[in-house]
Amino acid sequence: MILLIIGFSIFTPSDNKTSSPAASISDNTKSEFDKYYIIEKKDNDQTNIRLYIYVSDVSKIKDINQLLVEKYNNDKTKYMSSYYFNKKGIGKTYMDKQVNENISDKEKDRIFKYLIAVYNFNPSNSYEKLEFEQH
């Protein structure tokens, strides 16, 4: 009888285990991806998160994006936008230059070519999209 109880408890799934298809990225994976990106600018208030990110390996963007969503908006209650660049330093001033009327369109176009991908999440309708830019 005791063996039956022990066997049952071993093979019965625990309530503490999560079997979600969107499981979190492991700590090992997080440290692996840390070397591929730098957050150059972060705007984070009560309802919005904006990240401007330099990425050294564009093929890692999807995984980096998932990691950053988990870190900054895991409960998906805030608007979130992430801008990915393949040139270091662009993210620091990108949006300031795009909205500055004193910056020429030629200069705006020149820095736009380094924008590789944009992620947007809207919590009001759960709209979520990671879009790669075509230049």
C-alpha 33/C-alpha 53 separation (Å) is 13
pLDDT for 100 equals: 96
Q: Over range 81-106, report the average pLDDT.
A: 96
What span, in angstroms and rounded, lies between the C-alpha atoms of 117 and 81? 11
The total number of structural domains that make up the chain: 1
**Residue 48 domain-assigned?**
no
User: Is 100 part of any domain?
Assistant: yes
Phi, psi of 3 (to 5 degrees): -65, -35
Q: Tell whether pTM > 0.85.
A: no
Nearest alpha carbon to residue 96 among 133, 52, 128, 134: 52
pLDDT surpassing 90 at residue 19:
no
In a domain, 16, yes or no: no
Give the whole-angstrom CA distance, residue 90 versus residue 96.
Answer: 11
Report if residue 120 sits inside a domain.
yes
Q: Would you say residue 61 lies in a domain? A: yes
Confidence of residue 2 (pLDDT cuts 50, 70, 90): very low
